[in-house]
Chain A
């Protein structure tokens, strides 16, 4: 699909443009509101550019958010790596080293992602207290890893599923074991899938609020708690709140830019699949 007529090219760019607008409009509102003074923020003036530009929102938001950034990195990086790694191994085993009952096991793992988190908060807090991890970031890491496993397992399993079984069998004949086949055959071709999983886990854990607020104490609160705390109980300063949201979204954005490269390069060897 590389050779295109000018008409097709025009169509392509038209579609991309329309969607770009759809994606940009809310961000425009977000950005212009964050640059307004509090007194100028209202639904009425939402489409207008700020009458006077003010960075007060960003300054205020940065001041409040900065102390919690470290907590978030400390939480998100291990949680993302561990859940992706375990998910990859799970997916590999469940697609290429099946055993009796492994399909049922997969179904049971998968089901775990649909658990409504609000309904398990009480037992969860009690359990975390029992094992002594309540109020700490490691506890939060554990929770995010566990509840992330179903999704990461699913993504990797469905990605590995298309790798021909013959490949595994041939490697076995050559004397490779379960680990070396993973290490030398599966891991290297998993990069696009890892990218997708990293993006998902990083963003979700980064933005997650419910666990973050119930399982931490003041000293260990991640950035989302600080972001929500920018609001007062009655009055919400939307300029500060939106500036804060943009600042908070920067690390995931950087992750997209860093990892997104691997999509562009298309570095997967085409011969493995299809």
Chain B
């Protein structure tokens, strides 16, 4: 009996592996193979096109990394990534969850609104970046405001005018210029968080909520003690997906603000693109990529440990 069970278990594992194998093989090449290549390049001195083409293997150890961390631009980039990711994820979650809770009750017009909230995701970043750049162009204050500052003036909210993404002010290393970029990114992706939550909400047993209500639970209690715990896995995958987006907010930032005055809206992805394709500093570009990956590792390992522990 025991033997039969073991055998069956073994067979099951093999079938499972077989189903996973196409993904495992391709990812091994496209992800880990290429990461390995990037690690290798980041340890070489390929910072000109000639060296890259000649392909001489002159290892310089961690020199490229040390150089990077000493650069002011890269330090700014790391802070920007931290704050951008944090506020972007929080913003998308807050708005997405709020909207999904409301739309789950199917108010009038919810079908239309749901598509409206999703629609920004469908529009090319190159173009939405420009629209947002126009909206947040401050104009020349105070006499000649533009964009949203002009709107504020017309609405009598002149005191809200400021330089938006042209501001070089920073607070605890948070470049306030990022606020404009975060708003644009939240606009583009909060609809997706809404969709993920909505998909999850559809699967929740209504009787559960009904029962809680009869027991006198408030809406807030229902949300924090029933809905949110049930939706935790979905929320976590939303966070991972959003983190993935924020690390790659390249196209949006590139077309909206570029790296900004003194790099106030610069992110590592923009720097990496410039290093690799503009200045032919392949080793530096690869080092940035590896640092990014390491940061991601730090971010998702706690998530994975947590989620495996629960199961």
Which residues of A line the B interface, CB within 8 A?
Answer: 1-2, 12-13, 15-16, 19-20, 22-27, 29-30, 33, 43-44, 46-47, 86, 89-90, 93-94, 97-100, 102-103, 105-124, 127, 142-143, 145-147, 149-151, 153-155, 158-159, 161-162, 178, 189, 192-193, 195-196, 199-200, 203, 206-207, 209, 224, 227-228, 238, 241-242, 244-246, 248-249, 252-253, 256-257, 260-261, 263-264, 266-268, 270-274
- Decide if A116 touches B205 in the complex (CB within 8 Å): no
| B102-116 near A? 1/0 per residue, CB < 8 Å | 100111011101111
Number of A-B residue pairs at CB separation under 8 A: 292
Q: A19-B95, A43-B134, A248-B124 known; A114 and B147 CB under 8 Å?
A: no
Cβ < 8 Å to A, chain B residues 216-245:
219, 222, 230, 233-234, 236-237, 240-241, 243-244
| B240-278 near A? 1/0 per residue, CB < 8 Å | 110110011011000000000000000001001100110
**Chain B residues, Cβ within 8 Å of A89:** 19-20
Q: Is the interface of A mostly helix, strand, loop or mixed?
A: helix
| B84-124 near A? 1/0 per residue, CB < 8 Å | 00000000000100110010011101110111111111111
Closest 7 CB pairs of A and B: A119-B289, A252-B122, A99-B13, A245-B127, A192-B199, A112-B31, A158-B233
Give Cα A227–Cα B288 distance, bound, in whole angstroms.
29
Q: A13-B107, A249-B123 known; A149 and B26 CB under 8 Å?
A: yes
Cβ < 8 Å to A, chain B residues 185-204:
187, 191-192, 195-196, 198-200, 202-204
5 inter-chain pairs at a CB distance below 8 angstroms, sorted by A residue, are A15-B98, A86-B23, A146-B31, A189-B203, A192-B199
**Chain B residues, Cβ within 8 Å of A120:** 30, 34-35, 37-38, 289
Partner of B30 from the list A147, A257, A270 (CB cut-off 8 Å) is A147
Q: Is the C-beta of B68 less than 8 angstroms from some C-beta in chain A? A: no
Give Cα A105–Cα B12 distance, bound, in whole angstroms.
16
Give Cα A142–Cα B227 distance, bound, in whole angstroms.
38
Which of the candidate stretches B56-64, B170-178, B290-298 sits at the interface with the other chain?
A: B290-298
Chain B residue with minimal CB distance to A110? B300
**Chain A residues, Cβ within 8 Å of B141:** none
Which residues of B line the A interface, CB within 8 A?
Answer: 12-13, 15-17, 19-20, 22-24, 26-27, 29-35, 37-38, 95, 98-99, 102, 105-107, 109-111, 113-128, 130-132, 134-135, 137, 146-147, 150-151, 187, 191-192, 195-196, 198-200, 202-209, 213, 219, 222, 230, 233-234, 236-237, 240-241, 243-244, 247-248, 250-251, 269, 272-273, 276-277, 282, 285-286, 288-289, 292-293, 296-297, 300, 304, 308, 311
